Each structure stands twice: as structure tokens, then as C-alpha cells.
Structure 1
Amino acid sequence: MSPLALDPAAQDLLFREARTANSFTDEPVTDEQIQAIHDLVKWAPTAFNQQPLRVVLVRSPEARERLAPLMADGNRAKTVSAPVIAILAADYEFHEELPAQFPAVPQVKDMFFSERPVREASATLNGTLQAAYFLIGVRAAGLAAGPMTGYDADGVQKEFLDADHRPIAIVNIGHPAEDAYRPRSPRMSFEDVYQTV
């Protein structure tokens, strides 16, 4: 009996065989696939069930031309060739959405989110947690993800977002090409990471 409830094929799809993709085929990623990813990963756990992650999907040639110069040199070519690029951002005004979702939350909103620096820290932390689930959702859809933090964050914010939204990561999404993956880097062992007290 395995200690994991997920079957081995799903474990491989989501974790063991999944890697960051660096090149993609020209097979499209559909709006239906993106919607299905959202509908799966929206259940990710966050503090107070806040949902600060916002996503800008870059598809058009014009938007790609605006994004390309903002990417680090090593990320530019693979970004413009991906079928869809997701700009993952933290919404610093996410607290405005809380009352509609959770009628009992106004007290929490007043206690924890009345100060902008508190909201920014919370949005960044919880938005990043949501971003990690987003990557797993992309894999669950049978697609490859290429998450990156090598870009001009101020430029991306100015070009695609606003003062209340800060980019967390940019993710290339598509079907992996034959040369999509580099050799896997080693990972730390259980003994190096865990301790019991």
C-alpha cells in the first residue's frame, strides 16, 4: 500500500516527470484549457481564503512585442514562441473582493488589511502560493509550464498592469517541444530538509 493517495501516473504528471519547459510546439492552448486550470486551482489554500492572484494572458502578436523587450535575454525567445504567456500578479487591493465572497470578513479586513504595506505583503505571499498551484494546474491539464522571474518587473507592471498589481512571475504555457527540457537538477534529500522536534 502506497503512503500517497495519488496514483503513480498522476504523481509523475504533476511532480516526478514534470519540469520547466524551454521550448514549445505550435499546438494552441485553448481558452477552455485555461478556464479548466482556473476552475481547479481556485481552491488553493490561502490566509483567510483571500485570492490576490490576477492573471494577464498574453496571446496577440502586439502584446508579445510589448512583453519581449521586458524579458531577460535568456527568456526572450522562449517567451515569444510560447502559445500563451501568463503574467501572474498580486492584487494589492484584493481586500475589496473579500466582502462579496465572505460576508463575515469585514472585521478581518479592518484588522489586517487597512494598512497598504500589510496588504502588499499578504498579497505577495498568498499570490505566490496561488501561483504554485497554478503551475500544478497547468501540468494537470497535460501542458508544460515555463515559470520565470527574469524580467523587468517595473516595466511589466507599467506595460500590462497598474499601481495596485505587481508581477510575481511570468509563465510560458504550451505543449513541450522535443528539446523542451534541460537535464534535471538534483534535489535535497529528506534528511537535509526535515527535522522532528
Structure 2
Amino acid sequence: MVLDAAAIDLLFLKAHTQRRWLDREVPDPLLRQIYELARMGPTSANCQPLRIDFVRSPAAKEKLRPALSEGNVEQTMSAPATAVFAADHEFYEFLPKLFPQADAKSWFTGSEAATRETAQMNATLQAGYFIMAARGLGLDCGPMSGFDRAKVNAAFFSGSAWKALFLCNLGYGDPTGYRPRNPRLDFSEACRIA
């Protein structure tokens, strides 16, 4: 099965990183629907380490504000929702449920480096699935790394094994918030076939 041209355009060619938002709420059922789609993407040993804290209330936004880089404050504070994508460094606790065909939990409990690498890589991969699902269901996204990770971890994940990866503003974009698309590398600049 191949997606039609309109779907490809929606997901890749017409979608832009959004910085300005319409005053329109993102309802909880839509966030759940996006997650339900995103969780179906593949991860190593079905480990599913992505955790998401949706920041929406004024109090939560104010909690996030001190961690934001100056250039990201306005777009984040005005976004209907901000997803704090995090990696659960104790994801292996769910492996007996998620990967029951082997003792996958034992693969990670003895190696902090393997746990960290697996958590970060797979959670980032899942966050990418989430962005594509959000676009597919009509939301605009503004992923960003301009924030103080230690402050976000202290404010939102203190006492847990969740560690922030990146932020993504979510909502219905104001078309005036698009910048012209920047160039992309050509295949010959970014790829090799061995």
C-alpha cells in the first residue's frame, strides 16, 4: 500500500515547523488518539520508552517558562499544548509485558550504558512517530531543543527515571507563523549506498 500524494504532502511537503498558534484548544481525546497511533511504531524489543508530559494549564506553562531559551518563550507560552518528550530509563520494567517471548528485562538491568542508549534512541524514534501522527490528524507541530534539560527534569520528572529529550509545541498553526522552508541536503550529500 502506498499513501496518496495528498497524504505525502500533509506529512512531509506542506507541513512546517510552527511558531504561531491559533487560539484553539487541543482536546484530550485527540492527544490520546495521536498517542494510540504513535505507540504502534516499531522499537527495539518493543521497549516503548517514550513518556510524554503534556503541558497545557497556565500553572504548568509557568513551571516550564524558566527552562525555555529566550527565543522559544513566546511560541511555547502561546501554544495550546507542549509535549515534553522524555525517555524512561527504567523502561525495562515493562518488558515482561511488552516482549514476553524472552527475558528481555535482563538485557538491560545490568548495563546503565545500554539502558540509556536504548531509552534515548527508541524514545526519540517514538517522538518522531508522534509528530507524524499529530500531523496526520490535523495538528501543527513545533519541535525544539532550545531549553534547559536539567531544569525541565527537576520541574517535571524529579524522583522518576524519566529524562527529557525535547519539547514539541502542538496546536492549530497560524499560517502567518510559517517561515520559508530552508534548504535540505541532496541525496548525494547525505547518503551512501554500499
Q: Any residues of structure 2 matched to 1:131-146 within 5 Å, and which?
A: 131-146=127-142
C-alpha distance in 2 between matches for 1:186 and 1:82: 26
Q: Of residues 52, 61, 68 in structure 1, which corresponds to 2:65? A: 68
AA of the residue aligned to 1:102: F
Gaps of 5+ in 2: none
Map of 1:40-55 to 2, 5 A cutoff?
Answer: 40-55=37-52
Q: CA deviation at 1:116?
A: 2.1
Structure 1 residue runs of 5 or longer lacking an equivalent are none
User: Is residue 47–residue 99 contact of structure 2 (8 Å, CA) maintained in 1?
Assistant: no
Partner in structure 1 of residue 187 of structure 2: 190
CA distance in 1, matches of 2:63, 2:29: 25
1:31 maps to 2:23: no
Show CA shifts across 1:119-147 (max 9, x none): 11110011111111111011011110000
RMSD value, Cα: 1.3
Structure 2 distance, partners of 1:18, 1:145, is 8
Q: Taking structure 1 as the reference length, what is the TM-score of the superposition?
A: 0.94
Percent identity, aligned pairs only? 39
Q: How many residues align?
A: 193
Distance 2:23 2:96 in 1: 42
Range 69-78 or range 116-125, more displaced:
116-125
CA distance in 1, matches of 2:30, 2:73: 24
SS of the residue aligned with 1:179? helix
Distance 1:58 1:38 in 2: 15
**2:165 aligned to 164, 168, 187, which one?**
168
